[in-house]
Amino acid sequence: MPRFALRDIFVLTAIVAIALAGYRFLWNPPPDPNAQAYFACYLAALAFATLAAFLGRPHWRRSCQGFAAYGWMHLIFVLWGGFRLSDIYDALRLIQGVKLGFVLGVLVALLSGWLLKEQKLPEQSQK
């Protein structure tokens, strides 16, 4: 029988809670009045995670690297044609993609912080 630490159970509970909250967050009929705010918050969080992945404390770097890697890939591949907003349906698709990207980015950040091992620097021999 596998044994779990209390920290692992808390992290798993947080992941499930964020996934369910994300499902509830996405269950919103169009048109969404906060569309520009979602997009601005997503870009701000992505910029913060990118900076924190390089300059942050070692404990937070793995989570920020996960969020930044997912966020940039999400902007490149999923929202590739979303910046040409020719009609309201393109804008709604862009906002749904941003909302989903934010939720999945947080899940990837939690999973990368929980599952990836911390890299230890090799000790230099002093002569």
- Helical axes 6-26 vs 88-115, angle rounded to 10°: 180
Confidence of residue 82 (pLDDT cuts 50, 70, 90): low
Residue 114 has pLDDT above 60, yes or no: yes
The residue assigned the tokens 């390089």 is 54
Confidence of residue 80 (pLDDT cuts 50, 70, 90): low
Question: What pLDDT score was predicted for residue 109?
Answer: 85
Q: Is 125 exposed, middle or buried (0-12, 13-18, 19+ CB in 10 A)?
A: exposed
Helices within the chain (DSSP H only): 6-26, 35-55, 58-73, 88-115
Confidence of residue 3 (pLDDT cuts 50, 70, 90): confident
Task: Please state, in angstroms and rounded to a whole number, the distance separating the CA atoms of residues 45 and 55.
Answer: 15
| pLDDT tens, position by position, 14-55 | 888 888 887 777 776 666 677 777 778 888 889 999 998 888
- Top pLDDT among 81 and 70 is at 70
Phi and psi at 41, nearest 5°, equal -65, -35
Q: What percent of the chain has pLDDT over 90?
A: 2
Task: Please state, in angstroms and rounded to a whole number, the distance separating the CA atoms of residues 45 and 52.
Answer: 10
Identity of residue 126: Q
Question: What pLDDT score was predicted for residue 5?
Answer: 79
Residue 10 has pLDDT above 60, yes or no: yes
The answer to pTM > 0.75 is: no
What are 72's two structure tokens?
């940039």
Give the list of residues 6+ apart from residue 96 with CB closer than 8 angstroms, or none: 26
The domain locations on the chain are 34-115
